[in-house]
Each structure stands twice: as C-alpha cells, then as structure tokens.
Amino acid sequence: MLTHVDDRFESADAEAEHRTASLHREFGGPLRRHVRGLTGNDLRWTEDVVREAIGKAGRDPARRHWEPGLLWAWLVTEARRLVRDGCRRDGVHAQETAADGADRALSAIVVSAALRDLSEEHREVIEQTYLRGRTISEAAEILGIPPGTVKSRLYYGIKALRALLADKGVAG
C-alpha cells in the first residue's frame, strides 16, 4: 500500500504499476471507445487491447515524461497494431459496425477521391501496405522495389494524402 512514498523509494515494479493505474484513469475511457471502433465492438478483444497498450506504456520509462497529446497518439497507434496483429494471426476481420452508414459512405468517397489524386507511386505503396494488410517487406517483394524505398514513398504519400484531405476539409 503506497500512500505518500517518494518516487525514488518505489521499486521499478511498483512504479510501473502506479503509472499504469494513472494512465488507465486518464486514457482508459477514450481509448476503449476508440478501440471498439477497430474491433467492431468486440468488448473482450477491446479490453485485452486496451490493457496491453496501457500496460506497455506504463512499464516503459521512456514514456514517463511524455505529454498527454503524444501519449494518446502513441496509445492509439499501439492499439491499432495490436488489433491488426490479432487479425493477421487469427485470420479474422473485425466486424464493421453498421452505425451511421451514410456519413461513413460519404467520408469513404472523399478519402477514395483523395487517394486517386495521389501520384501512382504514392497510391501504390499505401494500397500495397496498409490497405492490403501487408508489412513493408512483404509489399517491397510484391512491388519489386527495396523496402527502404517503400518506406520512404509511404512517408511522402501519407503526407500528401493528409494535405489533400485537409484541403477537402477532412483531417483538419
């Protein structure tokens, strides 16, 4: 039971536990809502992903001094990776939630139009990695270009996509 113990006297384990609990309080609710969108509202899977992502952040001393905006960006990125790993491992697709279909179809059309406006090289690497569920090296093999080139094109492609979407009023 830790009441008011100076950080320096806590063991590394107790400190990680403490940190994890505080991250759960700060980010647990919003992260759970976000992850439910990725798992197709699978509550047990969502809970596992949230616990694993927050636990990893809590154990890592390098994350200790990050500000909330950066921590949130890291948490959603880690959670997405965990969901995708789960899909790849089990060969399942997260169920799509049927909610607000019309709005989603509309954003889908906007995003699809923005992809079409990208250069062929940029569009190709986004399709062959993220949209096909492939890693950089898998995509590199399929495209017959070095992994470093895929990675670099992906960087500039994603930046270009973001700029196009910002012009269309998405991703402000």
| Contact (CB, 8 A) for 49 and 83 | yes
Interactions with another protein, residue window 46-75 (CB under 8 A): 62, 66, 69-70, 72-74
Q: How many CB atoms lie within 10 A of CB 126?
A: 19
Residue with tokens 């509309």, as numbered in its chain: 106
Report the distance separating Cα 127 and Cα 41, nearest Å: 25
119 contacts another protein (rule: CB under 8 A):
no
142 contacts another protein (rule: CB under 8 A):
no
**Close Cβ partners of 25 (under 8 Å, ≥ 6 residues apart):** none
Task: Report the length, in residues, of the chain.
Answer: 172
104 contacts another protein (rule: CB under 8 A):
yes
92 contacts another protein (rule: CB under 8 A):
no
Say what angle helices 43-59 and 12-38 make with each other, to 10 degrees: 140
- Tokens standing for residue 91: 């060969």
CB of 161 to another protein, least distance (A): 7
- Tokens standing for residue 64: 């200790």
Of positions 18, 84, 86, 142, contacts another protein by CB under 8 A: 84
Nearer to another protein, 24 or 134 (CB): 134
77 contacts another protein (rule: CB under 8 A):
yes
151 contacts another protein (rule: CB under 8 A):
yes
> What are the phi and psi torsion angles at 104 (to 5°)?
-70, -40
Nearer to another protein, 22 or 77 (CB): 77
Binding stretches for another protein (CB under 8 A): 37-38, 62, 66, 69-70, 72-74, 76-77, 80-81, 84, 93, 96, 101, 104-105, 107-109, 111-113, 115-116, 123, 126-127, 129-137, 139, 151-152, 154-155, 157-159, 161-162, 165, 170-171
